[in-house]
Amino acid sequence: KMMQEKLDSTAMIVDCEMLMDRFYLPRRNRYGGRVVWMPEVGFDIAKEAVEDRMKIQGLEAKHANTSPVGRGVQLRALHNIWDDMSPEEVKEDLLQYIQNIRDGNVEKTDLFARARLGKFLPTKKILFKVGKQIELPLLDESGKKQYKSTVVDGKIKKELITFPVDVAGTHYGEGATNPNASMNPDDDNAAYVILDGVQRGAAWYNIVLAKETKLDKGDSFYTTFVKDGPTWIPAGGYVSFSEPEDIEGYEIDVEKIIEKHVVGKLDHIMYGIGLSLDDLRPIRKKLTVADFFE
């Protein structure tokens, strides 16, 4: 009606999906807005909690696999920006949020993200096919390389003795649940060919922690980073598990969680206020020769 009156014509019909009183667009197709009106409920929606009437697009806070602390830091940043805080004030508030995580003032489960297996975990056979092996020299007890002598065209030739080492992680194949897992992506038994952190963590769980039920295609589970524990852990510290109690004996890598799941989720938001992720990272002291002597 407003547009019809302005244009003095009933030919113009505007269908409003929603109204927002605050809107933040740091980059194209990445935004967050605070809804105050929707056609179904009118302005009554403004009485709801802000978290229940936010329109978010292209930011990780919308993703189901974002950890609670990762989602929380993004929502906090948006709140601060909507409240007209200066970039420096936003930064200081986010640094306090991060420090609370570092000090252990959050629930442990809020550090965990969620993930899901969309395919089967690969068998050792699959990983061996796509894997890589390198040849390393065989050393004797004193650490010296060993050689063998062969006769070539009547001449004695020394050859370095080597042995193959798997660098593709074929041992993760022990965590497979489907012996018929296939490399064919169109097969009903399609399996992952390359394992990222989540899938390595799931395979690790099946190998190390699972007692009866193993993680399988279609399963959802927790995932996080650890840095020590009673067993071997995957490279990079990425572990997956069914229940928080499964990893009680492992030391959570809080700093890596902060970097990956908190600071790393703020790139677009920080960019929009003229700051970078480095503004949220600890300042590394540059050591000089004098620092090593009293």
Q: What confidence tens digit (pLDDT) does each residue in 155-176 have?
A: 878 888 887 655 557 889 999 9
Does residue 194 register a pLDDT over 90? no
Does residue 293 register a pLDDT over 70? no
Give domain status of residue 287, yes or no: no
Q: What is the mean pLDDT of residues 179-192?
A: 93
Q: Are residues 103 and 37 in the same domain?
A: yes
Pairing of strands 220-228, 113-116: antiparallel
Contact 279, 91 (CB under 8 A): yes
Give domain status of residue 292, yes or no: no
Tell me the residue type at 3: M
**Helix, strand or coil, per DSSP, at residue 8:** coil
Give domain status of residue 285, yes or no: no
pLDDT in tens, 99-137: 999 999 999 999 999 999 999 999 998 888 776 655 767
Please give the pLDDT value at position 175: 95
Query: pTM for the complete prediction?
Result: 0.76
DSSP 8-state symbol, 198: H
Please give the pLDDT value at position 139: 74
Q: Are residues 14 and 103 in the same domain?
A: yes
DSSP-H helix ranges across the chain = 2-7, 68-82, 87-102, 124-130, 197-204, 254-257, 267-272
Q: Are residues 125 and 187 in the same domain?
A: yes
Whole-number Å distance between alpha carbons of 145 and 134: 16
Does residue 4 register a pLDDT over 90? no
Residues with Cβ within 8 Å of 62's Cβ and at least 6 positions away in sequence, in order, are: 56
State the average pLDDT for the chain. Answer: 87
Q: Are residues 88 and 72 in the same domain?
A: yes
Q: What is the largest CA-CA distance in the chain?
A: 104
Q: What is the mean pLDDT of residues 132-157?
A: 73
Q: Are residues 108 and 144 in the same domain?
A: no
Give domain status of residue 226, yes or no: yes
pLDDT in tens, 16-71: 888 999 999 998 888 999 999 988 888 999 999 988 898 988 887 666 678 999 99
Residue 164: how many CB atoms within 10 A of its CB?
A: 9
Contact 273, 263 (CB under 8 A): no
Q: Are residues 148 and 88 in the same domain?
A: no
Q: Are residues 120 and 246 in the same domain?
A: yes
Domain count across the chain: 3
Give domain status of residue 229, yes or no: yes
Please give the pLDDT value at position 195: 83
Q: What is the mean pLDDT of residues 140-160?
A: 77
Range with the largest mean pLDDT of 9-13, 44-48, 63-67, 192-196: 44-48
Range of the domain at 155: 132-167
Question: How far apart, in Å, are the Cα atoms of 14 and each of 3, 9, 17, 42, 230?
Answer: 7, 12, 9, 16, 63
DSSP 8-state symbol, 293: -
Q: Are residues 186 and 122 in the same domain?
A: yes
Q: Are residues 123 and 189 in the same domain?
A: yes
Give domain status of residue 291, yes or no: no
Q: Which percentage of the chain shows pLDDT scores above 90?
A: 56
**Selection from 192, 187, 197 nearest residue 173 by Cα:** 192
Please give the pLDDT value at position 66: 84
Q: Are residues 27 and 126 in the same domain?
A: no
Q: Are residues 55 and 77 in the same domain?
A: yes
Backbone angles phi, psi at 164, to 5 degrees: -80, 145
Q: Are residues 183 and 232 in the same domain?
A: yes
Q: Which percentage of the chain shows pLDDT scores above 70?
A: 89
Give domain status of residue 288, yes or no: no
Whole-number Å distance between alpha carbons of 81 and 83: 5
Q: What is the mean pLDDT of residues 79-87?
A: 94
| Cβ-count burial 11-35 (b if 16+ within 10 Å, e if not) | eeeeeeeebbebebebeeebbbbbb
Of 69-83, 139-153, 179-193, 213-227, give the lowest mean pLDDT range: 139-153
Give domain status of residue 294, yes or no: no
Residue 249: how many CB atoms within 10 A of its CB?
A: 12
